[in-house]
Amino acid sequence: MRIMRAAFASRFDADNPLAALTVGEQPEPAHPEDDWVTVQVRASSINHHDLWSLRGIGLGADRLPMILGCDAVGTAPDGTDVVVFPLVVDPGDPRGMSILSEHFPGTFAERVAVPRMNLLPLPAGLSATDAACLPTAWLTAWRMLTTKGRVDEADAVLVQGAGGGVATAAVALAVALGKRVYATSRDAGKRERIAQLGATALEPGARLPERVDVVIETVGEATFDHSLKSAAPMARIVVSGATAGHEPKVNLRRVFAMQLEILGTSMGTPGELTELLTFCAEHEVRPVVDSVVPFGRIEEAFARLHSGAAFGKIVIDHTA
């Protein structure tokens, strides 16, 4: 059995998830089916999903220890550079699939095993650092805007809670798609950086100069009423997270009177990830990277994400 270095959940801690993170040796993941391959990981990135796993959300105790990480760029067995699509068909999951690090070992390791069909070519012009940001947070934002939000029919977009991975991706992508973008953040420094991306930065709850056609909602309870009030008739409010509460009060009169659509989504498809990779490469759109951290300091990267100080994605360099 081959051994490799990895970052994994060794236990759960709802109050202090960082205490449940262990960096050490783990067995190289096995291939549950013949069509699986092993990828040598070059770069990965951290998501809030990893912190949730350390809290015991979405990960059962019977699966511990579990190597964390959803995103990866690496080298396939034939030597080609690939982006790993992180969703795996999983009949045992009620969703019909699971994301890497839920049922199957994740990407915070020297190597990761995935179905061969999950390997997408790394486009020319995109670095491993940039591409490692895309498969989870940026793919979610792309699907929220395009497939669910039908942003091609929209003029204006509101992004709540910009600064986090998905919301910041949504700002950058919506601007690149030529939309008028408004984005909220409690942090003055993050509002300044939002403005640098080409959006109008606002404090949470601020009145917008116009109603918007698409709302990107990852915050939840703290911002949902503002999302409803900011929506134009027949607008789409697309939800992929609830970092500040998952049980908001909803004014149903406003929903039906304004004919609003409230749509849930998570992640995306291999086809949508291919679209995103192509769009970023052809339009020279690059992910907002907060920092690049060597794998040997991955605990510092987790601490930064947990602190809420990060703006954009934290990338892990597995070659350092």
pLDDT > 70 fraction of the chain, expressed in percent and rounded = 100
pLDDT band, very low/low/confident/very high, at 172 (cuts 50, 70, 90): very high
Closest CA to 236 of 208, 209, 255, 210: 255
pLDDT at 195 over 90: yes
Residue 314 predicted with pLDDT over 90: yes
Sequence spans of domains, the chain = 3-133+287-317, 136-264
In 3D space, the residue among 67, 82, 244 whose CA is nearest the CA of residue 160 turns out to be: 244
Rounded average pLDDT over 92-104: 91
Q: Is the pLDDT of residue 197 over 90?
A: yes
**pLDDT category, 317, cuts 50, 70, 90?**
very high
pLDDT tens for each residue of 270-311:
999 999 999 999 999 999 999 999 999 999 999 999 999 999
Is the model's pLDDT at 95 over the cut of 90? Answer: no
Are 3-133+287-317 and 136-264 the same fold in CATH? Answer: yes
pLDDT at position 178 over 90: yes
Label residue 91 by pLDDT band (50, 70, 90): confident
Q: Does domain 3-133+287-317 have CATH number 3.30.70.100?
A: no
Per-residue confidence band for 93, with pLDDT thresholds at 50, 70 and 90: confident
Please compute the mean of the pLDDT values over residues 44-53 and round it to a whole number: 96
Query: pTM here?
Result: 0.94
At 286 the pLDDT is: 95
Q: Which of 50, 47, 73, 51 is nearest to 136 (CA)?
A: 47
- For residue range 200-245, list pLDDT tens digits in order: 999 999 999 999 999 999 999 999 999 999 999 999 999 999 989 9
Question: Domain 136-264 belongs to what topology?
Answer: Quinone Oxidoreductase; Chain A, domain 1 (3.90.180)
pLDDT in tens, 119-165: 999 999 999 999 999 999 999 999 999 999 999 999 999 999 998 88
SS (H, E, C) the chain: CCEEEEEEECCCCCCCHHHHEEEEEEECCCCCCCCEEEEEEEEEECCHHHHHHHHCCCCCHHHCCEECCCCCEEECCCCCEEEECCEEECCCCCCCEEECCCCCCCCCECEEEEEHHHEEECCCCCCHHHHCCHHHHHHHHHHHHHHHCCHHHCCEEEECCECEHHHHHHHHHHHHCCCEEEEECCCHHHHHHHHHCCCEEECCCCCCCCCEEEEEECCCCCCHHHHHHHEEEEEEEEECCCCCCCCCCCCHHHHHHCCCEEEECCCCCHHHHHHHHHHHHHCCCCCCEEEEEEHHHHHHHHHHHHHCCCCCEEEEECCC
- C-alpha span between 12 and 65 (Å, rounded): 10
Give the chain's mean pLDDT: 96
Predicted pLDDT of residue 320: 85
pLDDT at 23 over 90: yes
